[in-house]
Amino acid sequence: MKLIKRNEDNELEIADEVLFISEFRTLVRRDRGSEGDTQGRKKLAAIKELAFVYFYVDFNSPYSAYRTNKILLDDIRFIKVRDAVGLTEDWVPDEIVDKACDRYKEMQHTLELAFLEAAQDSAHGIIDYFKNIDYDLMSRGKPVYSPKETLIVLKQSGDTLDGLEVLKNRVKRSLESSVKVHGGGKVGRREDV
């Protein structure tokens, strides 16, 4: 779902359909002004917070590679997204932003996405495994880690990454085909599914 769009003047503005979702509407309506938008007419603060929601939550965001489950202020993904969308260092997501993030995540939830997230968590576990290999670690006089076994796992990593990419493309197709019915909506008589 698009949260932000460009208008005819090439300026960012809030996508029309955003206002139909209560959590997003609340986030937009509370913007009464900010730096560069003293009266809140351009909704610049809301645009930044909606951008934060998208880049922090969307599975296809360039920041999705940074592992996280919940907004944590020392989380690398949080810091990178906050800085990228132009929020200040002292900005902290409040309950309204948290609810918007939860709603966005709910709206993109599919079985395929749940599977992709589980597969990505598993891949991160493999990364953690590689980072913690200590070839000097011994157990009963024998090395715990074998370079030969590590090389075998490394060779299989390419297949794992290819599989994740295939799965990610499948999730994209799944979300594109069902975008009209997410978020609790219903398919109208004249709509294609």
Residue 87: which of 95, 75, 79 has the closest Cα? 79
**pLDDT given for residue 192 in this prediction:** 43
Predicted confidence (pLDDT) at residue 155 exceeds the cutoff of 60: yes
Burial degree of 148 (CB within 10 A; 0-12, 13-18, 19+) = exposed
Q: Where are the beta strands (DSSP E) in the chain?
A: 4-6, 12-14, 138-139, 142-143
Which amino acid, residue 54? Y
Cα distance between residue 126 and residue 157, in whole Å? 9
pLDDT digit string, tens, across residues 116-153: 888 888 888 888 888 888 888 888 888 888 888 888 88
Q: Which pair of structure tokens corresponds to residue 90?
A: 């002292």
* Alpha-carbon separation of residue 176 from 2, 118, 164, 193 (angstroms): 12, 21, 18, 10
pLDDT digit string, tens, across residues 5-36: 888 888 888 888 888 999 999 999 999 888 88
Per the listing, tokens 């004249």 go with: 190
Cα distance between residue 137 and residue 134, in whole Å? 6
**pLDDT given for residue 144 in this prediction:** 84
- For the chain, the straight-line distance linking the first and the last C-alpha, in angstroms and rounded, comes to 16
Q: Sign of the CA dihedral 185, 54, 63, 79?
A: negative
Q: Where do the H-state alpha helices sit in 85-190?
A: 95-107, 111-131, 147-178
Q: Which pair of structure tokens corresponds to residue 34?
A: 């900010």
Domain ranges of the chain: 4-107, 111-184
Predicted confidence (pLDDT) at residue 183 exceeds the cutoff of 60: no
